[in-house]
Structure 1
Amino acid sequence: MSKIWKAGIIGLGGIGEHHMGNWLKIPNTQIAAICDVNKQAVEKTGERLQLPPGKRYTDYEQLIADSDVDVVISGTSNNIHFDVLKSAIEHNKPIFSEKPFTRTMEEAEKLIGLYHQKPVPCVIGFSYRYRPCFQYVKRLVEQGTLGRIRHIAAHYLQEENAPMFEKGYSWRFSKELAGTGVLADIGSHMIDAARFFVGEFMTVNGMMTTFVEERLDPRTNERVKIDVDDFAGFQGVLEGGVMGTFYTHKNAIGTGNQFNVTLFGDLGTARIAVEKPFEVSLTMRDGERGQLVEKTVHLDGADVKPLLQDFIEYVENGSGSAFLPTLTDGYKNQQVLQMIIDSAQDGVTRSR
C-alpha cells in the first residue's frame, strides 16, 4: 500500500478503542477524525491523538462528509448501524461497521437496495473469520479432508449476565436500541460461522427466552422490564443437507468468551475454540483399518492477515480475500436472524 489511508472513527467505546488500535498497526494508516455523542470522550480521545478541534465530531454525518476521511470505521450501538451505513454509502465512503448488520429486516432491505444502486466497499465485523483456527478449518473443509460435512454444532457462552453479577440495564437490553438481545449480540457470530464453513441456511427452528426479566437502570435507580432475549437456541438445515445445532446465552457461570465450533464429516471431526485461536483438535480415521487418530494442530497464524488490512485491500483492489465478510454477508446474516425470531415467536419452521 502506497497511499496513506485516513480513517474516521465513529463510536469511542471499548470496541472503538479496539479498532483504533488495530487500525494503527497497519502500515500507511492514520486517524483523521473521531466522533461520539459523548463530547467528553471526544475531547479526551482527540487530545490523546493530537487531532485538531475541527476533526472532533459529535455528529457522524459531519465526519462521513469530511473530505479528509478516506474510510469509516464504525463501532456504535445497534440502533445507529443503519443510519451510519446509509450515510457512508450515500457519500461513497468505504466503511467497516460492527455487527449485527441492522436491527430489523426492514432496515436491511433498504440498505441492500441502496448498495445495489451505489456499490461501495462495505465490511461487517464478523472478526472470528480472522482467527487462525477458523481459516485452517475452512481450508480443511474446502480440501475435503473431513469428507462430506454432515453436522455443524456451535455454542457461544459468557457469564456476565448471570443474576449474581447484578449487571445493570443498558442499551443491549432494549429491543428498540438493539433489535434483539443475545441473539444479535453474539448469536450472529454463530450464524456467520455456519455460513463461513458450510453455506446458507435453508430452514430454521428457533427458541428464545429471557432468564432475567428485570434489571436495575443505574441512571434512574429504577428497575426496567427486559424486552429482548438472553437465551437463544436454534436448529437448522444448511446447504447440502448439513444439520446445524446452536445455542447461546450469557448465564453460563465459569465461562469467559466460550465460542466453540465442531464440524462432523464422514472422514473426521474438527473442533475449534475462539479462546484457543492457534489450536485445532482433529479426530480422524486413518489407514487400512481405520485407526482412530486424535491430534492437536498448533498454528502460528503467520499467514493470517488482519481484518482491517483485508478491508483496505478490498478498497484498493476492488476485492478482498475469500474470508472477507462483506455487506452481503451482513444482509444474509440478518435474514437468518429474522428466521430465528419468527420461528421462536410462533413455533413454525422458517425457510429461505
Structure 2
Amino acid sequence: MNDKMWNVGIIGLGSIGDYHMNNLSKIPDTRVAAICDVNVQAVEQVGSRLGLSAGKRYIQYEDIIADPEIDFVISGVSNKFHYDILKCAIAYNKPIFSEKPFTRTMEEADELLELYEHNPIPCMVGFSYRYRPCFQYVKQLVEQGALGRIRHIAAHYLQEENAPMFNKEYTWRFNQAMAGSGILADIGSHMVDAARFFVGEFTQVSGLMSTFIDQRIDMRTGQPTAVDVDDFTGFQGVLEGGVMGTFYTHKNALGTGNQFNVTLFGDLGTVRISVEQPNEVHLTVREGESLELIEKKIYLNEKSMKPMLQDFVDYLDQANSPLFPTFMDGYRNQQVLQAIIDSAKDGVTRSLNRS
C-alpha cells in the first residue's frame, strides 16, 4: 500500500451521511474533502463544521462527482437518485460507494449494467452486514464445509418503528416513485444479500407483499397520504444447489430493535446468528458414535474484522477482497427484488435468468 491521502466526497448529509462520515473518520489516510446536498443550509452547516472552502460545498451531485480532486464519493441519498448518481459516476469514471438498494426498478438496473459493462468503475454497494464478525465467521464455516451440505437458509428482519402506536409520519420511503418498493427495498434487500453471500444465486422465488397501514400523515401538509408500497414482505426461494430459503420482514414487530437473524441448516450442523449480537455465533452439531447433541456459543473478536470502508479503500489501492459487495452484487440483488415484486403481484413463482 502507498501513502496516498484519499479525498472523499459525501453526497447526502442526512443521518446516513453522518454515519458514513463517522466511519470514515476511523479509516487512516482518508478525509472528507467535499460535500453535497440539495439542502443549502445543511451544506453550509456541515461545511463550516468541517472547515471546507466554499468551492467544496456542492448543491449538484454532478459537480462533486466531476471534481478532479475527489478520489471517490460516498452516496447516501433516497432510492430515487441511486440510478442518476451511479450513472454520473460511470460517466466521470469516479469510484463510488453507493447505498442499497441498487436502484428502484429493473429497468434502471439494466441501463446501468449496460453503461458499466462499457466502463467498469470501482463500486461498492452498501450491504454492510457482510462486515459483521458473525457473518464473516459463518461464511468461513460454509466454505470449509463445517456444516456439510447446506439444505435450508432462513432469515427474518424485524423492527417496530412502523407500528400504529408510534404514528410514524409519511416519508419518501412510503412512496413507490421515490423508493421503488417499501420494506423489501429498505431492509429486505439485506436478507437477499445475506442469502447470496452465504449460499449463492437465487434460481426462483415466490413472494407475498402487504400494506398494513395504507395512510400516514404527511407532516408538511398535515394531511393523511396514501402509502403505495409494501410494509410486509415474505418470500420463499430456491438457491444454487437446491438450497431452500424462507424469508420475511416488516417493521410492525413490537418489542424488536434491529432483529436481523439468519439460520443455516446443513447436513452436519445448524448455525444461527443475529446482528444484534454481532460477535456471537450459535452452532449446533451432533458428535461421536451416539450423535450427542452439542450446543456451542462462539465469541468473536470484533477488532480483528476489517471495516467496510477500509475494504473499499484497500480495493482502490489494488487489494482484492472476497467480502466486497460489488456493482454486480447490487445488480443481482435488484433482480431478486424485482422477481419477488412480480411474483407477489400475480401469484406466479419467478425463475431468475442469469444471462
Common topology (TM > 0.5): yes
The corresponding residue for 2:330 is 330
Paired AA for residue 341 in structure 1: I
Matched, 1:140 2:138: no
Return the alpha-carbon distance in structure 1 between the equivalents of residues 317 and 283 of structure 2.
37
Paired AA for residue 321 in structure 2: S
| 1:189 shift after superposition | 0.1
The corresponding residue for 2:339 is 339
Residues 138-188 of structure 1 show CA distances to partners (whole Å, capped at 9, x for unaligned) of 000000101100000000000000000000000000000000000000000
The corresponding residue for 2:213 is 212
Query: What is the SS of the residue equivalent to 2:217?
Result: strand
Q: Retained in 2: the 8 A contact 1:162–1:253?
A: yes
| 1:286 shift after superposition | 1.0
Matched, 1:309 2:310: yes
Q: CA RMSD in A?
A: 0.7
The corresponding residue for 1:26 is 27
Task: Please say which of residues 16-25 and 168-177 is displaced more in the overlay.
Answer: 16-25
Paired AA for residue 252 in structure 1: A
The corresponding residue for 1:150 is 151
Query: What is the SS of the residue equivalent to 1:302?
Result: helix
Query: What is the SS of the residue equivalent to 1:228?
Result: coil
| 1:294 shift after superposition | 0.1
Matched, 1:111 2:112: yes
Paired AA for residue 277 in structure 1: P
Query: What is the SS of the residue equivalent to 1:269?
Result: strand
The corresponding residue for 2:85 is 84
| 1:313 shift after superposition | 1.4
Q: Retained in 2: the 8 A contact 1:105–1:335?
A: yes
The corresponding residue for 1:38 is 39
TM superposition outliers: structure 1 runs of 4+ over 4 Å = none
Matches within 5 A, 1:119-134: 119-134=120-135
Task: Please say which of residues 65-74 and 181-190 is displaced more in the overlay.
Answer: 65-74
| 1:303 shift after superposition | 2.9
Residue ranges of structure 2 left out of the alignment (5+ in a row): none
Return the alpha-carbon distance in structure 2 between the equivalents of residues 27 and 52 of structure 1.
22
Q: Retained in 2: the 8 A contact 1:311–1:320?
A: no
The corresponding residue for 2:240 is 239
Query: What is the SS of the residue equivalent to 1:320?
Result: coil
Residues 100-153 of structure 1 show CA distances to partners (whole Å, capped at 9, x for unaligned) of 000000000011111110010001000000000000000000001011000000
Query: What is the SS of the residue equivalent to 1:64?
Result: helix
May I ask how many residue pairs the two structures share in their alignment? 351
Residues 264-291 of structure 1 show CA distances to partners (whole Å, capped at 9, x for unaligned) of 0001000000000000001011112211
Paired AA for residue 188 in structure 1: S
TM-score by length of 1: 0.99
Matched, 1:273 2:271: no
Paired AA for residue 267 in structure 1: L
Paired AA for residue 339 in structure 2: M
The corresponding residue for 1:5 is 6
Return the alpha-carbon distance in structure 2 between the equivalents of residues 322 and 296 of structure 1.
25
Paired AA for residue 338 in structure 1: Q
Return the alpha-carbon distance in structure 1 between the equivalents of residues 282 and 334 of structure 2.
30
Return the alpha-carbon distance in structure 2 between the equivalents of residues 152 and 2 of structure 1.
43
Paired AA for residue 303 in structure 2: A
| 1:2 shift after superposition | 1.1
Query: What is the SS of the residue equivalent to 1:260?
Result: strand
Paired AA for residue 324 in structure 1: F
Task: Please say which of residues 297-306 and 323-332 is displaced more in the overlay.
Answer: 297-306
Return the alpha-carbon distance in structure 2 between the equivalents of residues 280 and 15 of structure 1.
28
Query: What is the SS of the residue equivalent to 1:3?
Result: coil
The corresponding residue for 1:72 is 73
The corresponding residue for 1:288 is 289
Return the alpha-carbon distance in structure 2 between the equivalents of residues 23 and 7 of structure 1.
9
Q: Retained in 2: the 8 A contact 1:7–1:30?
A: yes
TM-score by length of 2: 0.98
| 1:23 shift after superposition | 1.0
Query: What is the SS of the residue equivalent to 2:35?
Result: strand
Paired AA for residue 174 in structure 1: N
| 1:302 shift after superposition | 3.3
Q: Retained in 2: the 8 A contact 1:173–1:228?
A: yes
Return the alpha-carbon distance in structure 1 between the equivalents of residues 13 and 5 of structure 2.
22
Paired AA for residue 344 in structure 1: A
Residues 44-75 of structure 1 show CA distances to partners (whole Å, capped at 9, x for unaligned) of 10011000011111110001011111001000
Paired AA for residue 322 in structure 1: P
Residue ranges of structure 1 left out of the alignment (5+ in a row): none
The corresponding residue for 1:189 is 190
Paired AA for residue 238 in structure 1: L
Paired AA for residue 278 in structure 1: N
| 1:341 shift after superposition | 0.2
Return the alpha-carbon distance in structure 2 between the equivalents of residues 269 and 160 of structure 1.
31
Return the alpha-carbon distance in structure 1 between the equivalents of residues 340 and 316 of structure 2.
33
Q: Retained in 2: the 8 A contact 1:210–1:230?
A: yes
| 1:225 shift after superposition | 0.6
| 1:218 shift after superposition | 0.2
